[in-house]
Amino acid sequence: MKIRPLMSAAVIASLFVGGMAMAAGGPKHGGAGKGLNQVQSTELTDIETSDLQYMREEEKLARDVYLTLDQHWGSQTQVFARIAVSEETHTSTVDYLLRKFGVEDPVVNDTIGVFTNQELQALYNELVAKGKTSFIDALHVGGLIEEKDMRDILVAISQTDERAITLAYSNLLDGSKSHLKAFVRVIEAQGLTYEAQVLDAEEVRLILDDESQVED
């Protein structure tokens, strides 16, 4: 599985503790007081554009995988169905940003399991196949998706100074923290111990030990 370029562990760990603080701090192109719903006056860089398009389909991937796995394991847990609803909100949030900044939407077909990005298409196929093999594998697929989402969101945050985008990404980051904790709770309820799959072990422990996290 291909993972996008990574930030240093030290930077990532510091961001985990205060994702929303990052959104609130520092001057942005839009100036002080600009909110998510206000028009920005600057054009996006190629990197910002690419990140938005990738994030749009990455959040769709999470939704689609969870909806698919809920068909197999919904009688044993509601975690996939519940988080899929949240992921629908997340991909819609990125869609709003695409429209706000006039960026082409890569989701030309919202059918479950269909992606423009071939990396994400292959990843969807791989994760669904793995998640269908057993209930425990399915739960670990959920954990992997949320860890990967967080890693990619943190990289995207580091590559933009647009306040509206930073705020939205920070909200997605908080959601992924909650989702990871939800999957881990179900895994631990099976008498198992969750181990980090994409992030460093200390980063995952920071998330799981954060009692201030509001459920998404």
Q: What is the 3-state secondary structure (H, E, C) of the chain?
A: CCCCCCCCHHHHHHHHHCHHHHHHCCCCCCCCCCCCCCCCCCCCCHHHHHHHHHHHHHHHHHHHHHHHHHHHHCCCCCHHHHHHHHHHHHHHHHHHHHHHCCCCCCCCCCCCCCCCCHHHHHHHHHHHHHHCCCHHHHHHHHHHHHHHHHHHHHHHHHCCCCHHHHHHHHHHHHHHHHHHHHHHHHHHHCCCCCCCCCCCHHHHHHHHHCCCCCCC
- Given this model, what pLDDT does residue 24 score? 38
For the stretch 50-60, pLDDT in tens is: 999 999 999 99
Q: State which residues of the chain have pLDDT below 70.
A: 1-42, 212-216
What pTM was computed for the model?
A: 0.82
- Given this model, what pLDDT does residue 211 score? 79
Q: How far apart are CA 152 and CA 150, in angstroms?
A: 5
For the stretch 171-183, pLDDT in tens is: 999 999 999 999 9
| Cβ atoms within 10 Å, residue 85 | 12
Q: Which of 175, 183, 177, 90 is nearest to 143 (CA)?
A: 183
- Given this model, what pLDDT does residue 213 score? 56
Token pair in block for residue 168 = 């939205």
- CATH topology (fold) of 44-209: Ferritin (1.20.1260)
Q: How far apart are CA 213 and CA 207, in angstroms?
A: 8
Q: Measured on CA atoms in the order 115, 162, 210, 152, is the torsion positive or negative?
A: positive
For the stretch 122-147, pLDDT in tens is: 999 999 999 999 999 999 999 999 99
- Given this model, what pLDDT does residue 12 score? 43
